[in-house]
Amino acid sequence: MDQSGYSTQYSLDFSNNDYTKYFNTQYSYTNHSTPAKYFNITTFNGKHVLFIRLYSGDAPFKNGSDTNPRSELRETATPLTNDNEYVFEWSSYLNTDTEWDTFHGILNQYFSNNNGPCDDITAMNNDYHFMYITSPDSDAKSSKVIADPSPNGDKGHWVDYFVRYKVSHTDGYIEWYRGSPTAQSTCSLVFGYNGTTARSGNDYNYFKLGMYSGDNTYSSLYVTDFRLSIKK
């Protein structure tokens, strides 16, 4: 994908734990003494990867919270500030040990630092749902359903993602591109939206990647080759 006019902030190949300089890990508060149970660097299919797992019986990230369990990376190094434009790139592998045709949860989020989620990709009923706010002052979201490719169709394959994102209360945008699960080539646009991408009172947004789900079942995925860029 064309990156002209953008400057790379950092890139990660997950050959070591450098990702912890840029991301916090969020997972069951009852297991905060054992982060490697949820996130660990390994090799898979000849690639350096981060292996991410979510378990049956996991608690929320914070004690007393009524949110769903999660195993997510929360980007902390680059606040996504209003009226700036960003590009996110990564590759994901939905593991074969997970029932992705019945999995219901969020896999990627763009979150207001103080007012909740703005945009996300949710896997539900073996479809991808692209969820997005349409007003800075409302919790209501619209959605676009993508049935093909499906989460279960992606299972057992590497898929490349490329996301263009502008943070704004009025003229933002988000464009999700992805590669084919069987023929990794040029990414194609699967969803685009122009309008509100930030909530009122928002200082900045941030990026999240992983699994957020109330299914109460085991699920896992691999991530590699992450890069974050900002428009000059």
Q: Rounded distance, CA 61 to CA 19, Å? A: 19
Per-residue pLDDT tens for 163-195? 999 999 999 999 999 987 666 567 899 999 999
The yes-or-no verdict on residue 58 having pLDDT over 80 is: yes
Locate 152 and state its tokens: 């279960």
The pLDDT score that the predictor gives to residue 184 is 56
Mean pLDDT throughout 63-68? 96
What is the rounded CA–CA span in Å between residue 24 and residue 223? 15
Of 58, 219, 226, nearest in space to 152 by CA: 219
pLDDT in tens, 70-125: 999 999 999 999 999 999 999 999 999 999 999 999 999 999 998 789 999 999 99
Q: What is the pLDDT averaged over residues 217-221?
A: 98
pLDDT value, residue 148 = 87
Task: State the pLDDT at residue 157.
Answer: 95
Q: What is the pLDDT of residue 186?
A: 74
Question: Distance between CA atoms of 162 and 151, rounded to whole angstroms?
Answer: 17
Whether 60 and 103 have beta carbons less than 8 Å apart is answered as: no
Q: Taking the CB of residue 122, how many other CB atoms lie within 10 A of it?
A: 22
pLDDT value of residue 185: 63
Chain segment 38-47, per-residue pLDDT in tens: 999 999 999 9
Domains and CATH numbers, the chain: 6-231 (2.60.120.200)
Can you give the pLDDT at residue 122?
Answer: 97
pLDDT digits (tens, 9 = 90+) for 127-145: 999 999 999 998 889 999 9
Q: Is the pLDDT of residue 159 over 60?
A: yes
Sign (positive/negative) of CA torsion 161, 224, 143, 151? positive
Neighbours of 32 (CB within 10 A): 12
- In whole angstroms, give the CA distance from residue 179 to residue 76: 27
Residue 82's pLDDT is what?
Answer: 94
In this prediction, residue 118 carries a pLDDT of 95
pLDDT at 198 over 70: yes
Residue 165 to residue 211: CA distance in whole angstroms: 21
